[in-house]
């Protein structure tokens, strides 16, 4: 068995008693995080940059259990995982400025979740049933492929994270299994230009344009929000609309995740190299012309890098080039049209009279710059 770590998500089917226990565990995990952080700030001050040791945090945890006896009634390893997560957050904030110092978890902004460790000599899954400490046996549903993977004797379980999305409870198994079969090299390369979703948020040097349309979802979310504004907060109709709103939020998020996973795999399978402009992270892509959802470009690029490393480690993978004049330069003759404005989507080269699509032309120039040795990063 290889050391390939992956996550498998399953949908849990709880009894009413188990659902009450889960909600208690969610609350105790969040309370533990806040109590440990509060004790740290009381000892070192709000502006302290000192990283607490695991021994200190463990002492804070024991003190919290003495002060709040109901913490002892929940599953113990989930509280220990909250302690370890807090220590990791302190460590990451000290290493990099990208990571902010740990903050208190609020009930409204924090997704309810807890994580349990799994003993190495124990297999928690049997058929479509998972056994959790303190919660007993719980039935779950997933795809046939994931079910076979979880029941395989070669699969090693590390831990299990349970979370609540506002409607349903899910579990994420962290497992070690055999790595997937690597893809063969195709010797195909592609350049990509990033735009607004109106003209295709991703335009390739082959002339393909990718669109991601969730405009209907956005309109439904707006409609339900308007209906909720006319209801008394906490009323039966308001609660019913709240569940309906959460359903549309979850649907939109799931569509985006599924779209990113499928598109990145298709690109990696077909091409050995994909070239972008270096300023991809500064471009905001509006979905359906609305500003309430921005396409996560950084996550899309990261998934591409991960899939290249997993399926094609010998390929050039994701590359970056400088973005200056990629749209204004004619890829046919090299003439730079300095008079080209942003609103013009199709233009005629004044030098060679070739009619160009602005975005496809930019994608071709991006690929040509990489071929001419203009790569900025290698992955």
The dihedrals phi and psi of 11, each to the nearest 5 degrees, come to: -100, 125
In angstroms, the CA 291 to CA 289 distance is 7
Instruction: List, in sequence order, the alpha helices (H) in the chain.
Output: 16-44, 54-67, 76-95, 144-150, 215-229, 236-270, 297-311, 358-371
Which of 177, 197, 224 is at the close of a domain? 177
Q: Starting at the earlier edge strand, list the strands of the sheet with 113-117.
A: 113-117, 156-164, 169-177, 4-13, 136-141, 129-132, 125-126
pLDDT in tens, 256-308: 999 999 999 999 999 999 999 887 666 666 665 555 567 788 889 999 999 99
Q: Both 196 and 293 in a single domain? A: yes
Q: Both 224 and 265 in a single domain? A: yes
Q: Both 305 and 192 in a single domain? A: yes
The pLDDT tens digits along the chain (379 residues) read 457 888 999 999 999 999 999 999 999 999 999 999 999 999 988 888 889 999 999 999 999 999 999 999 899 999 999 999 999 999 999 888 888 889 999 988 889 999 999 888 788 999 999 999 889 999 999 999 999 999 998 889 999 999 999 899 999 999 988 888 889 999 999 999 887 767 788 899 998 988 888 888 888 999 999 999 999 999 999 999 999 999 999 998 899 999 999 999 999 999 999 999 887 666 666 665 555 567 788 889 999 999 999 999 999 999 999 888 888 888 888 888 888 887 788 888 888 888 888 889 989 999 998 988 765 554 4
Give this prediction's pTM.
Answer: 0.82
Q: Are 106 and 112 in contact (CB under 8 A)?
A: no
Q: Both 215 and 360 in a single domain? A: yes
Q: Both 118 and 221 in a single domain? A: no
In angstroms, the CA 165 to CA 22 distance is 13
Q: Are 74 and 24 in contact (CB under 8 A)?
A: yes
Q: Both 170 and 187 in a single domain? A: no
All residues at 6 or more sequence positions from 260 whose CB lies less than 8 Å from its CB, including other chains: 296, 299, 300, 303
Handedness of CA 233, 236, 242, 248 (dihedral sign): negative
Q: Both 158 and 216 in a single domain? A: no
DSSP secondary structure letter of residue 70: G
Q: CA–CA distance from 225 to each of 77, 213, 240 (Å)?
A: 39, 20, 12
How many domains, in total, are found in the chain?
Answer: 2
Range of the domain at 331: 183-379
Q: Both 158 and 56 in a single domain? A: yes
């Amino acid at each position: 068995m290889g050391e390939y770590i992956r996550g498998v998500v399953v949908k849990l089917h709880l009894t009413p008693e188990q659902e009450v226990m889960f909600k208690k565990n969610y609350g105790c995990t969040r309370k533990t995080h806040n109590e440990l952080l509060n004790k740290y700030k009381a000892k070192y001050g709000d502006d302290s940059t000192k990283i607490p040791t695991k021994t200190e945090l463990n002492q804070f945890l024991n003190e919290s259990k003495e002060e709040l006896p109901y913490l002892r009634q929940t599953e113990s390893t989930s509280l220990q995982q909250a302690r370890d997560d807090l220590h990791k957050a302190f460590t990451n904030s000290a290493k990099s400025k990208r990571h902010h110092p740990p903050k208190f978890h609020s009930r409204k902004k924090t997704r309810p979740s807890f994580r349990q460790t799994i003993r190495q000599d124990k297999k928690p899954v049997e058929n479509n049933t998972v056994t959790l400490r303190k919660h007993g046996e719980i039935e779950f549903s997933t795809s046939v492929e994931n079910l076979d993977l979880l029941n395989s004797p070669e699969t090693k379980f590390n831990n299990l994270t349970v979370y609540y999305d506002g409607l349903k409870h899910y579990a994420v198994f962290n497992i070690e299994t055999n790595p997937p079969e690597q893809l063969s090299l195709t010797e195909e390369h592609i350049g990509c230009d990033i735009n607004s979703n109106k003209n295709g948020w991703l335009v390739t040097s082959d002339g393909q344009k990718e669109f991601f349309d969730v405009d209907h979802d956005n309109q439904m979310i707006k409609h339900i929000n308007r209906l909720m504004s006319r209801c008394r907060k906490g009323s039966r109709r308001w609660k019913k609309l709240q569940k309906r709103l959460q359903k549309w939020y979850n649907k939109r998020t799931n569509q985006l995740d599924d779209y990113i996973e499928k598109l990145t795999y298709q690109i990696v399978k077909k091409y050995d190299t994909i070239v972008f402009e270096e300023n991809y992270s500064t471009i905001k892509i509006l979905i359906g012309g609305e500003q309430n959802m921005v396409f996560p470009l950084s996550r899309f690029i990261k998934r591409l890098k991960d899939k290249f490393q997993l399926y094609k480690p010998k390929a050039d993978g994701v590359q970056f080039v400088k973005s200056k004049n990629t749209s204004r330069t004619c890829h046919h003759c090299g003439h730079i049209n300095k008079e080209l404005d942003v609103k013009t989507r199709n233009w005629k080269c004044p030098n060679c009279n070739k009619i160009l699509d602005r975005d496809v032309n930019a994608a071709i120039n991006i690929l040509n710059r990489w071929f001419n040795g203009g790569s900025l990063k290698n992955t």
